[in-house]
Chains A and B, each alone.
Chain A
Amino acid sequence: MIPEIGHIFLISSLVLSLVSGLGSFIFKKELPIRKIALLMFLLVFGSFITLIYSFVVDDFSVAYVAQNSNINLPIYYKFAATWGAHEGSLILWILSMNIWLLAFISFDKNRNTNFSNIVFGVCSLVIFSFLLFTIFTSNPFERILPIPPLNGADLNPSLQDFAFTVHPPLLYFGYSGLLLPFAISISAMLSGQSNKDWASSSRPWTLLACSFLTVGIGLGSWWAYYELGWGGWWFWDPVENAAFVPWLLTVALVHSLIVTENRNLFVNWSLLLSIFAFAASLLGTFLVRSGILTSVHAFALDPERGLFILGIFSFFVLGGLVIFAFKNSTENKTSFYSLNSKEFGLLLNNVLLVVLAVSILFGTLYPLIYEAYTGGKQISVGAPYFEFIIFPFSILLGLLQGIALYLSWGSTKSFNFLTKLILESLSIFLLTLVLLFVLFDELIPASFFTIFIFSWLIVGSLLINFSFKSFSNYLDFINRRMGVLLSHVGMALLVLGVGVVSSYSSEMELILDTGEKIEFLNKDVELLDIKDINGPNFISKTANIKVSDSGRTFNLQTEKRTYFPSGQVTTEAAIDTGIFRDFYISMGDNFKGDSWSFKLQSKPFIRWIWLGALLITLGTFISSVNVLRRKS
Chain B
Amino acid sequence: MKRFLNLIPLVVFVILVAVLYSFLTQENEQLESVLIDQSVPEFKLPALENPNNILSKSSVNKLPALINVWATWCIACRIEHPFLMQLKNESTLTVYGLNYKDDRKKALDLLEIEGNPFEFSIFDQQGKLAIDLGVYGAPETFYVDKEGIIRERHVGALTQKVWKEKFEKYLNEDNDV
Contacts and interface: CB of A to CB of B under 8 A. Distances in A.
**Within 8 Å by CB, do A and B touch in the complex?**
yes
Interface of A: 268, 272, 275, 279, 286, 290, 292, 303, 306-307, 310, 313-314, 317-318, 321-322, 324-327, 329, 365, 368-369, 371-372, 376-378
B175 to A, nearest CB: 26
A444 to B, nearest CB: 35
A484 B25 CA distance: 46
Contacts of B31: 378
Nearest to A329: B2
9 contacts: A272-B9, A303-B25, A313-B17, A318-B10, A318-B14, A325-B3, A365-B19, A372-B22, A376-B28
Nearest to A314: B17
Interface in B19-42: 19-26, 28, 31-32
Contacts of A318: 10, 13-14, 17
Given A292-B24, A310-B17, A313-B17, 19 more contacts: A268-B6, A272-B9, A286-B20, A290-B23, A292-B26, A303-B24, A307-B21, A318-B10, A318-B14, A318-B17, A321-B9, A321-B13, A324-B6, A325-B10, A327-B6, A329-B2, A365-B19, A368-B26, A376-B32
Nearest to B5: A268
Contacts of A322: 10
A321 B24 CA distance: 23
Contacts of B22: 372
Given A318-B17, A329-B2, A365-B19, A290 B10 contact: no
Contact of B32 (A272, A306, A325, A377): A377
Contacts of A317: 13
B41 to A, nearest CB: 20
Contact of A321 (B10, B25, B32): B10
A306 B17 contact: no
B177 interface: no
B7 interface: yes
Contacts, number: 58
A376 B30 CA distance: 10
User: Does more than half of chain B's interface fall in helix, strand or loop, or is it mixed?
Assistant: helix
Contacts of B24: 290, 292, 303, 306-307, 310
Nearest to A276: B9
A292 B27 CA distance: 9
Nearest to B12: A321
Contact of B20 (A268, A310, A377): A310
Q: Which 7 residue pairs spanning A and B have beta carbons closest together?
A: A321-B10, A303-B24, A325-B6, A292-B23, A325-B7, A368-B23, A306-B24
A455 to B, nearest CB: 38
Nearest to B24: A303
B161 to A, nearest CB: 19
Nearest to A327: B6
A378 B136 CA distance: 15
Nearest to A373: B22
A503 B25 CA distance: 42
A322 B21 CA distance: 20
A369 B24 CA distance: 12
A279 B19 contact: no
Given A371-B26, A376-B28, A376-B32, A324 B10 contact: yes
Contacts of A314: 17
B20 A372 contact: no
B37 to A, nearest CB: 13
- Of B9, B17, B22, B25, most buried by chain A (CB within 10 Å of CB) is B9
A306 B22 CA distance: 11
Contact of A371 (B9, B10, B17, B28): B28
Most chain B beta carbons < 10 A, residue from A306, A317, A325, A329: A325
A365 B20 CA distance: 9
Nearest to B17: A314
A9 B175 CA distance: 64
Contacts of A307: 21, 24
A372 B23 contact: yes
A322 B20 CA distance: 19
Contacts of B26: 292, 368, 371-372
A53 B17 CA distance: 39
Contacts of B28: 371, 376, 378
Contact of A378 (B13, B20, B32): B32
B136 to A, nearest CB: 13
Contacts of B32: 376-378
Contacts of A313: 17, 20
A3 B109 CA distance: 52
A368 B19 CA distance: 9
A313 B18 CA distance: 12
A393 B13 CA distance: 24
A353 to B, nearest CB: 16
Contacts of B20: 286, 310, 313
